[in-house]
Structure 1
Amino acid sequence: MHLFITILTILLLSFTLLSLIKHDYWTFRIFDYPRLQKLVLSVVCLFLLIFFDDRQTIYQLIFIGLISLNILYLFIQIVPFTPLGKKQILRAVTDLPDQSISIMIANVYQDNTNSGGCLREIRKNNPDIILMLETNQRWDNDTKELEKEFPFQVKVPLENTYGMLLYSKLELTDSAVYYLVEKDIPSIHTAVILKNGTRIQLYALHPTPPVPNENPRSTERDKELLLTADLAKEIQDPVIVIGDMNDVAWSYTTELFLKMSGLLDPRRGRGFYNSFHAHYPIMRFPLDHAFISTDFKLKQIKRLSNFDSDHFPIYINLQYEARAGSQQESMEPDAEDIAAAEEKKL
């Protein structure tokens, strides 16, 4: 038992220390993901150290102190994404349908054949815009009936698990597909016209994750996010960035993206809304995101029902309010953040 507790303590402390190293290689970045899991295991470990390890040694006291600090650090990192944290995006008080936009983000899992389940979830929630990710030609064929109800589309079906299908009831204009970093990883850039005529800019992304079988480094993912942050910062229109970012809401890169783009995260002050992995409850992380400029307020955000994908869909309903920009505050980068962002874009 003593050996087990010692190994568990060392592992948990090592996992936290590895995540603090700002290196792009996957062996460091992968430990950004299970922050809540590390917190829970650290609490269990502290309990074991106090009540099941009867050695009265200096090493035990050191382990108790270190694991307590680990718990405190992880709690401080997680609490902004709970109802205890400060909300970045305020709740819309009045309902203005002509200034609203609802979006469903669904990584469908390319090999998933349950397109009928996906269509039922779309009809049930009735979004204005649907972004489907990991969509190949089969998924394009299986969802063509959506064209009747969603007359505006931008489609990039691919067989490499990075295809995108964007359907919209609202008018799309100046739509384009870009390959910002990798030649086979697309992003969709389009203007959306709200019912009241307001033009907003929408960016749909799906960068590669830092895992051995995909991309051993987070370099390309981080670069795509930060290049998009530059676009969002420069444009005068209200901005929404959506997609499977393959990064958790609390990571250093996501926070750097928010600082450099001036966008807000609706999860802050509300909850995790974990979207992946749908089949393993103890290993779930918030990977599918919607980041929003200060011109919007939140009407609703929720996780939808799974339809045999490895991701849960995410639904968000926003309301454009011109005065919201003076009521909400984005994060500001310091000199170190700016330097880090510039280095990652090289």
Structure 2
Amino acid sequence: MKHFWFSQPTSRQIDIKNIAFGLGLTGLIPCLLLSLGAYLGGVHRYFELSSHFKVQYFVISCIVFLLLSFARRKNWWLISLFCLTLNVVDVIPWYIPQFSGINTPSGQPLRVLLANVYSDNQRYAEFISLVKAEKPQLLVVQEINPIWSKQLEALKHLLPYQIVYPRFDNFGIAVYSSIPLTNTDIQYFTPYDIPSIFAEVQWQGQTISIIATHPLPPINREYFNSRNQQLLELGKAINSINNFPVVIGDLNTTMWSPYYRQFIRQTGLKNARVGFGILPTWPQGAPMLQIPLDHCLISPEINVLTIRTAGDIGSDHRPLIVDLVILDRKANRI
């Protein structure tokens, strides 16, 4: 009796393979076009929009690759492999652990909690309970309005040092801290007067510059240009800082945008996610569409112990929680 692999396929097997081929082709063509378009983000904002969904393209390209492998259509299988490769190189590296080769101090880490609370959200008690449970030394709150500002006064005994800039739109911003904030400032980088908070804290014998920022979402050409201008001007401001910078905020972009990558090249910062995964934060209510908009970008002299997202607090964003330490370079000198 011949092995199945060498036997003549039955009509049922042919039908199944044709179905697999049809499904694979249906997914492959749009996935390939969007994956290629993502690399043209600097050409037009619509292409840049397509760059944010790399995880979704990766999942679809995996399924398409398996379907076309089963269908045994070599040419289309090779195209699906190309599509899969386009997305593997942008997704998998975020899950590869990073080893600094430098000793990490054993002291208490600096815990940072970032939350875009959504200005219309009224689940104040749930968010306050999260903060009390996590006990961050630094809390960055975005979309804070006067009502949220009043409610968060309940945290004053835990986080007594505060810079609170509430607004009635979606761009109020605040930094709460358990350690003194010095050299505080509010800066604006675009004609839309979107505030960014600058402050310094002392941690592990070093000065860390905290920058909390929230650019406009790129929902139209003007906002798109404003977001990009804010990132560019913010990068210039960071390059003038002599301390260890930490940028925290809903940047309204993902790691795959050419404008994000330009910002990283300009500043030399690294994303705290590296080695820990994608950790999508928005939109909270649509898991299949979630992308990583909320970021903690750090100086190379700072190490990440852990980074994770928190649960539903009633916002369209998930909070981001990061534990940071300053790398001990002196301990590695000979």
Q: Identify whether the pair has TM-score above 0.5, normalized to the shorter chain.
A: yes
Q: Look up the match of 2:39.
A: 20
Matches of 1:322 and 1:46 in 2, distance apart? 45
Give yes or no for contact 1:89–1:298 (8 Å, CA) kept in 2: no
Q: Look up the match of 1:220.
A: 226
What pairs up with 1:223-234 in 2 under 5 angstroms? Answer: 223-234=229-240
Tell me the CA shift for residue 48 of structure 1: 3.2
**Structure 1 residues 193 and 94 mapped into 2: Cα distance closer, same or farther (>3 Å)?**
closer
- 1:238 and 2:244 matched: yes
Tell me the SS of whatever aligns to 1:15: helix
Q: Look up the match of 2:66.
A: 47
**Structure 1 residues 225 and 87 mapped into 2: Cα distance closer, same or farther (>3 Å)?**
farther
Match of 2:219 among 205, 211, 215: 211
Give yes or no for contact 1:24–1:218 (8 Å, CA) kept in 2: no
Tell me the SS of whatever aligns to 1:229: helix
Tell me the SS of whatever aligns to 1:268: coil
Tell me the SS of whatever aligns to 2:77: helix
Tell me the CA shift for residue 182 of structure 1: 3.6
**Structure 1 residues 116 and 182 mapped into 2: Cα distance closer, same or farther (>3 Å)?**
farther
- 1:34 and 2:53 matched: yes
Q: Look up the match of 1:276.
A: 282
TM (norm. structure 1) is 0.83
AA partner of residue 52 (structure 2): Y
Tell me the CA shift for residue 95 of structure 1: 1.7
Q: Look up the match of 1:136.
A: 145
Give yes or no for contact 1:199–1:237 (8 Å, CA) kept in 2: yes
Q: Look up the match of 1:294.
A: 300
Tell me the CA shift for residue 92 of structure 1: 6.4
- 1:251 and 2:269 matched: no
Tell me the CA shift for residue 193 of structure 1: 2.5
Give yes or no for contact 2:102–2:328 (8 Å, CA) kept in 1: no
Tell me the SS of whatever aligns to 1:34: helix
AA partner of residue 218 (structure 1): F
Q: Look up the match of 1:330.
A: none
Tell me the CA shift for residue 25 of structure 1: 3.9
Give yes or no for contact 2:105–2:325 (8 Å, CA) kept in 1: no
% same residue:
24
TM (norm. structure 2) is 0.85
Give yes or no for contact 1:258–1:264 (8 Å, CA) kept in 2: yes
Tell me the CA shift for residue 142 of structure 1: 1.2
Matches of 2:124 and 2:315 in 1, distance apart? 10
AA partner of residue 305 (structure 1): G
Runs of 5+ unmatched residues, structure 1: 55-59, 328-346
Provide, for residues 252-301 of structure 1, a one-character-per-residue CA deviation record: whole Å limited to 9, x for no partner: 32222222111122211221121112211111111111111122122322
Matches of 1:27 and 1:233 in 2, distance apart? 30
- 1:157 and 2:166 matched: yes
Q: Look up the match of 1:334.
A: none
Give yes or no for contact 1:24–1:217 (8 Å, CA) kept in 2: no
Give yes or no for contact 2:272–2:296 (8 Å, CA) kept in 1: yes
Q: Look up the match of 1:312.
A: 318
Provide, for residues 51-107 of structure 1, a one-character-per-residue CA deviation record: whole Å limited to 9, x for no partner: 45x8xxxxx65433222101012101111111xx3527679644223xx42110001
Tell me the SS of whatever aligns to 1:148: coil
Superposed CA RMSD: 2.5
Say which is worse superposed, 38-47 or 17-26, in terms of deviation: 17-26
Tell me the SS of whatever aligns to 1:143: helix
Q: Look up the match of 1:185.
A: 194
Give yes or no for contact 2:103–2:328 (8 Å, CA) kept in 1: no
Q: Look up the match of 1:145.
A: 154
**Structure 1 residues 238 and 33 mapped into 2: Cα distance closer, same or farther (>3 Å)?**
same
Tell me the CA shift for residue 243 of structure 1: 0.5
Give yes or no for contact 1:87–1:269 (8 Å, CA) kept in 2: yes
Tell me the SS of whatever aligns to 1:175: strand
Q: Look up the match of 2:111.
A: 102
Tell me the CA shift for residue 5 of structure 1: 4.7
Matches of 1:105 and 1:319 in 2, distance apart? 17
Tell me the SS of whatever aligns to 1:271: coil
Matches of 1:192 and 1:103 in 2, distance apart? 12
Tell me the CA shift for residue 313 of structure 1: 0.6
AA partner of residue 36 (structure 1): V
Q: Look up the match of 1:341.
A: none
**Structure 1 residues 317 and 33 mapped into 2: Cα distance closer, same or farther (>3 Å)?**
same
Matches of 2:260 and 2:332 in 1, distance apart? 23
Matches of 2:233 and 2:275 in 1, distance apart? 27
